[in-house]
Amino acid sequence: MPGNKKSSLSPFFKVVTIVGARPQFIKAAAVNRAIAAFNKNGRQIEEILIHTGQHYDYLMDRVFFEELEIPKPHYHLGVGSGSHGKQTGIMLERIEEVLQKEKPGLVLVYGDTNSTLAGALSAAKMHLPVAHVEAGLRSYNRDMPEEINRVLTDHLSTFLFCPTQQAVKNLSKEGIKPSQGKLVENVGDVMYDSILYYSRIAEKKSTILHDLNLANPQSEIRNPQYYLATLHRAENTDDPRRLTSILKALNQLGKEAPVVFPLHPRTRKMMEIFDLFKKNRRIRFIEPVSYFDMLLLEKRARAVLTDSGGVQKEAYWFKVPCFTLREETEWVETVRSGWNRLVGVDVKRIAAGVRHNPRRNPAGEKMFGDGTASKTIVHRLWRAFH
């Protein structure tokens, strides 16, 4: 089994977790709870949390920590925005300083952001084992910076925790297989763990439907009254043709029902640059929302239109039809199930897709695990080092 056996001499095992964006906060929260539960048995895993500062807006950042009850980061690197090279370079420098100080036994990274790659690369150069949660995802579109981050991180990692069996197969195609030096395992999806835990809390705490004067929550279960849209990927937001086309389609849908659109800071910035707000008055643009509010908006929507991988899965789990504003997805399972449809950015194609909803019966098998992925990850890491 991979791992540094020397750490077994101590009852303490130090893990440095690196996050920087909203989806990573959600995943890290699930694993953090699993570590806390594990430590109740007397065994000790010490988790040091580094927040790179890739997301730095209050509603994109701190409110998530507060809602998810994630401990305050031990280090906030304050990297902020910038080009991919500049942002990743600053992260590398600052993460390395923390790793030199903390001397962990393992570095834990999540997903596919610049924070993910910077954390993995910093650790690998210091000869520290890397555990990648959500390993093996592939869109096979190398124009996406996220795809580059995924591939490189997987090849740098010692522990590859895959959310689906397809992800395991993707790694095998690239020669990454279980061996004496690597652990590759389908543990399930930690975001599914979070959905099971937090959706019940969101039902009790979120007032977003009332705040937005949407349909009565009791009737929405049977007859949803609004569409939910999200958009944040650079391929869509930074291309005026693609962004204009997506917004035009959403604006047309606004004739049928309200289109609620929480605006990512990047999307807002590009809409202002391209002067697109006044052309799309049927879309109800709102500020970024908290995790609990987002869960409830997703759960009660007529349909979801998004370019987010995480939102695609959440729509699947909530049994809400999803239309992905891309030509490919790393979550192919949701498409194969018939619940998610790839509609790209063409106005007519988006409209036709929404009018012909996918079947409303997600596949019965548990493609994303049984809600215990986080627990499995913690136990696998402990066993590898002790």
Active site positions, annotated:
232
Query: Are the C-beta atoms of 323 and 350 separated by less than 8 Å?
Result: yes
Q: Can you state the angle between helices 22-39 and 373-385, rounded to 10 degrees?
A: 60
CA distance 182 to 160: 8
The closest alpha carbon to 54, from 139, 119, 131, belongs to: 119
Q: Six-digit token pair at 58?
A: 């209050």
Residue type, 277: F
Distance set, CA 45 to CA 15, 101, 134, 152, 378 (Å)? 7, 18, 21, 27, 9
Query: Are the C-beta atoms of 45 and 13 separated by less than 8 Å?
Result: yes
Query: Are the C-beta atoms of 4 and 93 separated by less than 8 Å?
Result: no
CA distance 378 to 382: 6
CA distance 348 to 351: 5
CA distance 108 to 266: 27
CA distance 341 to 357: 9
Locate the DSSP E strands across the chain: 12-19, 44-51, 75-76, 106-110, 130-133, 159-162, 183-186, 227-230, 259-262, 283-286, 303-306, 322-324, 340-342
CA distance 146 to 5: 33
Exposure of 140 by Cβ count < 10 A (0-12 exposed, 13-18 middle, 19+ buried)?
exposed
Residue type, 324: T
